[in-house]
């Protein structure tokens, strides 16, 4: 099924039967990306009296408890409540789910302190886009299960985030565990720059981390569908999906 989209004076078609899922599946155990020393995902079978929630073990249905740390176990979307004490939740603040998005690939460079960073000069977006998807290079499949804790992963400079805010980007998606340096003494400069926190907080904007964009998806414009669980927390496991835009001549 095609939908017609008008953008910057041009008309595009998006085929909703051709989704490009850029989220990572959440599996039991350690076969997931992991960051910030989060515990591994746990699936636990519910047992009560004679009931066992496992068909394999003789039960009538499968019935399990899931233990997960949204920020540490896989693709997740967060709101400004991540750095605020006002109880803001992503379910309350993300209330639109389709956006024109641009996918860009960038290679973090080493700075004088030895960190690998994404700078302002690496990032730009087409005027009018409201979402930016960042794929970092190199882009090996190891990202799907990488154990990031204690490795000082690449991060984004605060100036780059301020630049994207000026360009009108409201939703940022990236394949790194965080916009900020792993250990930064709680500064969270990039998060604060993106949300303009606390002076002019952009409450309906979001950051999505630990995505994975396969190499066969080219840079360019897409329709983004950004879905979360209706979870009243600062962050939720999420499922961002891209749809290729085809210009109608």
CATH at 180: 3.50.30.50
Query: CB 97: neighbour CB atoms within 10 A?
Result: 12
Please determine, for residue 227, whether its predicted confidence score (pLDDT) is greater than 90: yes
**Which two tokens mark 143?**
């990202």
pTM: 0.97
DSSP, residue by residue, 31-99: SS-B-TTPPPBEEEE-EETTEES-TTTT-SS--EEEE--HHHHS-EEE-GGGG-SS---HHHH----EE
> Rounded mean pLDDT of 113-131?
96
> Rounded mean pLDDT of 167-190?
97
Amino acid 81: pLDDT? 98
User: Residue 40 class from Cβ within 10 Å (0-12 exposed, 13-18 middle, 19+ buried)?
Assistant: middle
Nearest residue to 170 via CA among 87, 98, 237, 247 = 98
Contacts of 245 (CB under 8 A, 6+ apart): 5, 7, 12, 13, 14, 100, 220, 221, 222, 223
Amino acid 112: pLDDT? 96
Please count the structural domains in the chain: 1
User: Residue 216 class from Cβ within 10 Å (0-12 exposed, 13-18 middle, 19+ buried)?
Assistant: exposed
Contacts of 220 (CB under 8 A, 6+ apart): 102, 103, 244, 245
Distance of CA 187 to the CA centre of its chain: 21
| Percent of the chain clearing pLDDT 70 (strictly above) | 100
pLDDT digits (tens, 9 = 90+) for 125-134: 999 999 999 9
> Rounded mean pLDDT of 77-95?
98
Which residue is associated with the tokens 């360019």? 220
- Domain range spanning residue 107? 2-247
In this structure, what DSSP letter does residue 228 have?
E
Amino acid 249: pLDDT? 79
pLDDT tier at 79 (50, 70, 90 boundaries)? Answer: very high
Please determine, for residue 179, whether its predicted confidence score (pLDDT) is greater than 90: yes
Please determine, for residue 1, whether its predicted confidence score (pLDDT) is greater than 90: no
Is residue 115 within 8 Å of 154, Cβ to Cβ? Answer: yes
Nearest residue to 99 via CA among 175, 11, 201, 170 = 170
- Bridge partners of 45, per DSSP, are 64
> Rounded mean pLDDT of 162-170?
97
Please determine, for residue 45, whether its predicted confidence score (pLDDT) is greater than 90: yes
> Rounded mean pLDDT of 187-216?
98
pLDDT tier at 78 (50, 70, 90 boundaries)? Answer: very high
Nearest residue to 37 via CA among 73, 83, 84 = 73
> Rounded mean pLDDT of 164-172?
97
Mean pLDDT score across all residues of the chain: 97
SS3 of 4, please? Answer: strand
> Rounded mean pLDDT of 157-184?
98
> Rounded mean pLDDT of 205-213?
98
């Amino acid at each position: 099924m095609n939908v017609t989209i008008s953008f910057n004076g041009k008309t595009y078609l998006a085929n909703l039967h051709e989704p490009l899922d850029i989220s990572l599946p959440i599996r039991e155990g350690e076969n997931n990306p992991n960051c910030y020393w989060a515990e591994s995902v746990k699936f636990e079978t519910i047992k009560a009296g004679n009931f066992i929630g496992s068909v394999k073990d003789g039960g009538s249905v499968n019935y399990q408890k899931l233990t997960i740390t949204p920020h540490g176990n896989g693709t997740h979307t967060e709101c400004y409540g991540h750095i605020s004490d006002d109880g803001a939740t992503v379910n309350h603040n993300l209330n639109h789910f389709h956006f024109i998005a641009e996918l860009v690939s960038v290679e973090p460079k080493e700075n004088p302190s030895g960190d690998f960073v994404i700078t302002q000069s690496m990032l730009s977006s087409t005027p009018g886009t409201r979402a930016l998807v960042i794929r970092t290079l190199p882009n090996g499949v190891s990202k799907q299960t990488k154990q990031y804790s204690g490795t000082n992963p690449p991060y984004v400079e605060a100036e780059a985030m301020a630049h994207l805010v000026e360009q009108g980007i409201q939703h940022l998606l990236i394949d790194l565990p965080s916009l900020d340096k792993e250990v930064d003494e709680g500064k969270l400069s990039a998060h604060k720059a993106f949300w303009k926190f606390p002076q002019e907080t952009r409450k309906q904007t979001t950051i999505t981390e630990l995505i994975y964009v396969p190499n066969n998806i080219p840079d360019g414009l897409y329709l983004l569908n950004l879905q979360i669980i209706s979870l009243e927390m600062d962050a939720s496991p999420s499922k961002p999906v891209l749809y290729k835009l085809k210009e109608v001549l």
